[in-house]
Amino acid sequence: MLLTRIKGPRDLDRLSQEELEQLAAEIRSFLVDAVSKTGGHLGPNLGVVELTIALHRVFDSPKDKVLFDTGHQAYVHKLLTGRQDFAGLRSKGGLSGYPSRAESDHDVIENSHASTVLGWADGLAKANEVLGREDHHVAAVIGDGALTGGMAWEALNNIAAAKDRPLVIVVNDNERSYGPTIGGLANHLATLRTTDGYERFLARGKEILERTPVVGKPLFETLHGAKKGLKDFIAPQGMFEDLGLKYIGPIDGHDIEALESALQRAKRFSGPVIVHCLTQKGRGYEPAVQDEADRFHAVGVIHPDTGLPVSTDAASWTSVFADEMVKLGKERKDIVAITAAMLQPVGLKKFADAFPDRIYDVGIAEQHGATSAAGLATGGAHPVFAVYATFLNRAFDQVLMDVALHKCGVTFVLDRAGVTGTDGASHNGMWDMSIMQVVPGLRLAAPRDAEQLRAQLREAVEVKDAPTVVRYSKGVVGPAVPAVGRIGGMDVLRAPGADVTRPDVLLVSVGALAPMCLEIAALLDKQGITTTVVDPRWVKPVDEALAPLADRHRVVVTVEDNGRTGGVGSAVSQALRDAGVDVPLRDFGIPQRFLDHASRKEVMAEIGLTAPDIARQVTGLVAKLDGRYDSEPAAAVD
């Protein structure tokens, strides 16, 4: 096999065009076989095989910087830079599903949030200029989907201003992000099918040809049927050259020789150049090509021959939300939905099918999505903006200044909150409850099970004068966790016996960690430690009943699937101080560090967010209090 002979990019230099085609076929076979065993981003990588080969043939990585926006399409790049052991892909100790500086000097960006690559490229090109590195080059690959993000256009505005600063921008145009790319830019990139110049030319041509005897009308119909080629002839550069960027393309993104020729020309140019490549997501794997939803953008473990899942999971948090949104849509005509290029992953496909006129895909533009939602709310609708928790970070200013300041009734539904695991540091949804704590008036719900997700989503969309947030985990929703009572707005999940006058521990359980918190209480009970377990349901604002309840316990413990700094534990601590309740408090959550990729269970064990770990520490805390409880006041434990 040729692939096993590729230890680094320069090994590609010795291959003939025929061998390069063979290598491309081998890479596709490798990807289908490997990713079907581990899960991962299959479709995007199948689409960039020839493009990645050409990039590494033309550019000398790592001296030259080859950058990938988002990075989920970097599997081929990994294979060509000496990383061909995919057995542990996205698993603890194995290869990351994204570029990783720890893995290779060939990897530059590892944040895996879209639309950032052009900003990186601009900075790297400026550094080359400042330091006089004329033999260093920067090539940035960005998809048509990522070009819907505002950051990309902010960068292009700066890049275009420096006409003599070399920089190669490769637009990987497969007409998709997750699903089909939507919006005005998508229409432009589809080889500029609606340029004014073409329409004026065609109208004038029709006028002339219709006056031409015999051949006029047939000739006009022939030209009109050749719209694509004619438009490319009239205005192929379009918008990019209007920005002052040299444009090459469109290029067949699966023709290695054509790609190399275009990239070589771009590399030699002394300023910024756009190389527009047309590729097919999922190319070479029929199940992916036939998948209209997202061309196997990301898959779990599948049968390589059929593309079908090896196993069918139980109901997920996302599917529960999806079904409830359709019910709400039927009941209320003012309910509309917003997605940022992730219609299917966030569970809005069913809503879109049922209410096609009430769904808005804003592209990879979370900031715009949030402000547009404020406008919708001001206009009388109630928007539900479903987005991964990690991506709401990008729209914080809009949530604060556009939605909250204006008291707009917008509901943000955060999928994949907390530890997500296999996608690594940038995809863990561990920031949202900290970030949202500082937003005045915002209410934040963390449902513990499917029933509560349905109920709290309904409660959220009833709020008309403030933003609401409903956040939940990735994956399978657990069994129902019934309440045994209610105190204020909080559900009591476990209560000590009636004969216990002052229980030892008040355990505040946040969201999907309720089963683990009940396990903690059971372990404490075996140590003779009495525990009350409550689920606040709405964790912001802190329920007014919590402080007096805490005052009736010896110690308060909070457990959350969020960063400890500024999270629910911090909010509870502040609420107790404000109420004059001097009870020791210990908060358990995610440490404020970037967590390596691994399964959720492995990550939770690594950070000590498990029932045995927490029970052991709480037991030690109570024992410490017992040792000095009668002789001196108990000190707070942070």
Please tell me the distance from the alpha carbon of residue 504 to that of residue 553, in angstroms, as a whole number. Answer: 6
**Mean pLDDT for the stretch of residues 349-371:** 95
Options 281, 471, 537, 564, the catalytic residue: 281
Options 231, 394, 416, 554, the catalytic residue: 394
**Mean pLDDT for the stretch of residues 420-429:** 86
**What's residue 217's pLDDT?**
55
Give ∠ CA 337-338-340 in degrees, rounded to 5: 155
Per-residue tokens: 231: 């438009």
**What's residue 180's pLDDT?**
54
Please tell me the distance from the alpha carbon of residue 65 to that of residue 79, in angstroms, as a whole number. Answer: 17
**What's residue 629's pLDDT?**
44
pLDDT of residue 622 exceeding 50, the answer is yes
**What's residue 304's pLDDT?**
86
**What's residue 426's pLDDT?**
84
The answer to which of 4-13, 279-288, 356-365 has the lowest mean pLDDT is 279-288
For the sheet with 411-415, list strands across it. Answer: 359-361, 335-339, 382-388, 411-415, 468-471, 443-445, 538-540
**What's residue 216's pLDDT?**
55
Residue 384 Rama label (left phi>0; alpha psi -120 to 50; beta): beta
Options 366, 459, 537, 564, the catalytic residue: 366
Instruction: Give the confidence band of 375 by pLDDT, cuts at 50, 70, 90.
Output: very high
**What's residue 308's pLDDT?**
85
Instruction: Give the confidence band of 415 by pLDDT, cuts at 50, 70, 90.
Output: very high
Please tell me the distance from the alpha carbon of residue 352 to that of residue 182, in angstroms, as a whole number. Answer: 14
**What's residue 141's pLDDT?**
95
Burial track 502-518 (b if 16+ CB lie within 10 A, e otherwise): ebbbbbbbbbbbbbbbb
Task: Report percent pLDDT > 90 for the chain.
Answer: 72
Contact (CB, 8 A) for 198 and 169: no
Please tell me the distance from the alpha carbon of residue 573 to that of residue 204, in angstroms, as a whole number. Answer: 74
The answer to which of 29-38, 171-180, 402-411, 482-491 has the lowest mean pLDDT is 171-180
**What's residue 190's pLDDT?**
45
**Mean pLDDT for the stretch of residues 620-635:** 66
pLDDT of residue 189 exceeding 50, the answer is no
Per-residue tokens: 226: 């050749």
**Under DSSP, is residue 539 helix (H, G, I), strand (E, B) or coil?**
strand
Nearest to 72, CA basis, from 294, 365, 309, 290 = 294
**Mean pLDDT for the stretch of residues 209-217:** 55
**Under DSSP, is residue 202 helix (H, G, I), strand (E, B) or coil?**
helix
User: How large is the C-alpha radius of gyration of the chain?
Assistant: 28
Residue whose pair of structure tokens reads 């005052």 in the numeric block: 551
Contact (CB, 8 A) for 236 and 186: no
Question: pLDDT tens for residues 452-510?
Answer: 999 999 999 999 999 999 999 998 999 999 999 999 999 999 999 888 889 999 999 99
DSSP string, 359-387: EEE--S-HHHHHHHHHHHHHTT-EEEEEE
Nearest to 100, CA basis, from 115, 119, 125, 81 = 81
**Under DSSP, is residue 66 helix (H, G, I), strand (E, B) or coil?**
strand
Nearest to 201, CA basis, from 176, 242, 233 = 233
Q: Does 189 or 113 have the greater pLDDT score?
A: 113
Residue whose pair of structure tokens reads 């500024």 in the numeric block: 566
> Is 394 part of the annotated catalytic residue set?
yes
pLDDT of residue 255 exceeding 50, the answer is yes
**Under DSSP, is residue 561 helix (H, G, I), strand (E, B) or coil?**
strand
Please tell me the distance from the alpha carbon of residue 541 to that of residue 26, in angstroms, as a whole number. Answer: 56
Question: pLDDT tens for residues 87-99?
Answer: 999 999 999 999 9
The answer to which of 48-62, 87-101, 190-204 has the lowest mean pLDDT is 190-204
Task: Report percent pLDDT > 70 for the chain.
Answer: 88
The answer to which of 303-317, 376-390, 402-416 has the lowest mean pLDDT is 303-317
Contact (CB, 8 A) for 382 and 409: yes
> Is 471 part of the annotated catalytic residue set?
no
Instruction: Give the confidence band of 112 by pLDDT, cuts at 50, 70, 90.
Output: confident
**Mean pLDDT for the stretch of residues 506-519:** 97
Question: pLDDT tens for residues 541-587?
Answer: 999 999 999 999 999 999 999 999 999 999 999 999 999 999 999 99
Instruction: Give the confidence band of 232 by pLDDT, cuts at 50, 70, 90.
Output: very low
Please tell me the distance from the alpha carbon of residue 233 to that of residue 43, in angstroms, as a whole number. Answer: 31
End-to-end CA distance of the chain: 58
Looking at every residue in the chain, the average pLDDT score rounds to 88
> Is 241 part of the annotated catalytic residue set?
no
pLDDT of residue 196 exceeding 60, the answer is no
Please tell me the distance from the alpha carbon of residue 110 to that of residue 318, in angstroms, as a whole number. Answer: 26
